[in-house]
Amino acid sequence: MDNKKWWKETVVYQIYPRSFQDSNGDGIGDLKGILNRLDYLEKLGIGAIWLSPVCKSPQDDNGYDISDYQDIDPMFGSLADMDALIQEAAKRNIKIVMDLVLNHTSDEHPWFVEAKKGKDNPYYDYYVWRDGEPGTPPNELGSIFGGSAWEYVPELGQYFLHLFSVKQPDLNWANPKVREEIYHMINWWIDRGVGGFRLDVIDLIAKEPDRLITGNGPKLHEYIQELSRLTFRRADLLTVGETWGATPEIAKLFSNPDGSEFSMVFQFEHIGLDEQPGKSKWDLAPLDFMKLKHVLSKWQTELKGEAWNSLFWNNHDLPRIVSRWGNDGEYRVESAKMLATLLHGMQGTPYVYQGEELGMTNVQYPIEEYRDIELLNLHKERTDQGYPQEEIMASIYTKGRDNARTPMQWDATAEAGFTTGTPWIRVNPNYTSINAEQELTEADSIFYHYQKLIQLRKEHEVIIYGDYELLFPEDAHIFAYTRTLDGETIIVLCNFYGEQVPYALPDSLTGEKELLIANYKDELPQYLLRPYEARMYRLKVNP
């Protein structure tokens, strides 16, 4: 098999550190807490941990506003704790993947503090500045978090660019000194033993604001190839770019098998399928299931042999998948297992977000109990615009980022075993019935289903490297496909909905089959799939 890589064959587990495990009772998860849970992750079978940002930060955007790239924020611990985590994870054959935010810094980063001192300061040109009168920004570019992307600095009589929060000024990648500083920092982390990097909103670094270009700027791939050449290619790393604007053609550049850019990308085409076209994620629409089949299949077939995909339903920015596209009531267990089976049978590197392996669900809190800046800005903006409160809250319940950020549910004790103190955000009240301790005692739990899916990838190369073919493309309930490699065939059958449905396999797939995994204990003799039923078969080939 050409171009085998460890990062194609592993499963990555994403940790949102402030919500995973608190070791000191301050209500915020930390690195020692993660270290104390490594045995749990080893049992699950994952091979890498992607840590959301742990670098020093004022936490305006939960760590995605970095004030020191080469130190750990005290709320999470110390550099010594980070070194210990890297070393202890390595003993369990688990690599640590760091989250790097290279598009912008915090406004409290020493570079920006210096930059504001004057146009002749050596750090001034580390950021993006434009002339403009007070109250009249240079142009109409908007911040992703709402309002203008420009902020006036009276001392300089200029505006700086911030595509996100006003406390997240954008770096000027056109300045070679900025790039040199970034490469030096990345190599410093590589030398400390990290196993890779996730690159936050990396497709924005080549922005040309005067032309209103933010994503996929003309020099983007030039910058990334230089970045890779001078850093990533020094070691055998997993690198994944967060690329909201990626198409399959763009992804082939980002993830060229020659290793000139990244290992893989996060693309989000499937994530926008339950919003009104042309509007924001808060403008809800029912999921277009046929489009979901088309989009996921497109990324499977079009990247084949030319790039590598990441596979995910959840992350720190997305609502819980079992509440979003599954059924978090009567069929919570079945639908959580179905969604896992559907994803893990595909080609690409699967990502499991903390609590996904337990079937953790969305929450519905009063607005004052939420913490996310994006969500709170949305609430204020839409309230000011006269939207009905019920409609605003329905959007927040469905799509709010805090759905993913409630504390990990470890057991049924106070605060779900997450902390001995008061958690920074309220624990989901269902923790007494949904928690890791309970799942580990139940042989057919969601946890053990994920564990088996991860093990199947290790046992069957066809799941990693095999060709993909969609079955039943016009079926409105079933998502089914095959994976084939060197004469071996895997069949994945998933009923995406809560009604029982019939199916008929093509003649070429009706031979003797070995059931590899399923989410119902018994198997119906006829060709039927029960609500949210999922099965994965290996077609036995007669010698």
Which positions are annotated as active-site residues? 200, 242
* C-beta of residue 503 within 8 angstroms of C-beta of residue 471: no
Residue 159, class by beta-carbon neighbours within 10 Å (0-12 exposed, 13-18 middle, 19+ buried)? buried
Rounded Cα distance between 10 and 196, Å, is: 13
Residue 219, class by beta-carbon neighbours within 10 Å (0-12 exposed, 13-18 middle, 19+ buried)? middle
Which residue type is seen at 55? C
Q: How many CB atoms lie within 10 A of CB 90?
A: 13
Closest CA to 36 of 15, 66, 11, 56: 15
Going by their DSSP bridges, the two strands 68-72 and 513-518 should be labelled as unpaired
Q: List all residues 6 or more positions away from 172 whose beta carbon is below 8 Å from its beta carbon.
A: 125, 126, 127, 128, 178
Question: CA-CA distances (angstroms) from residue 479 to 223, 331, 338, 476, 518?
Answer: 39, 17, 10, 8, 15
Q: How many CB atoms lie within 10 A of CB 122?
A: 10
Closest CA to 72 of 222, 194, 162: 194
Closest CA to 530 of 361, 342, 331, 329: 331
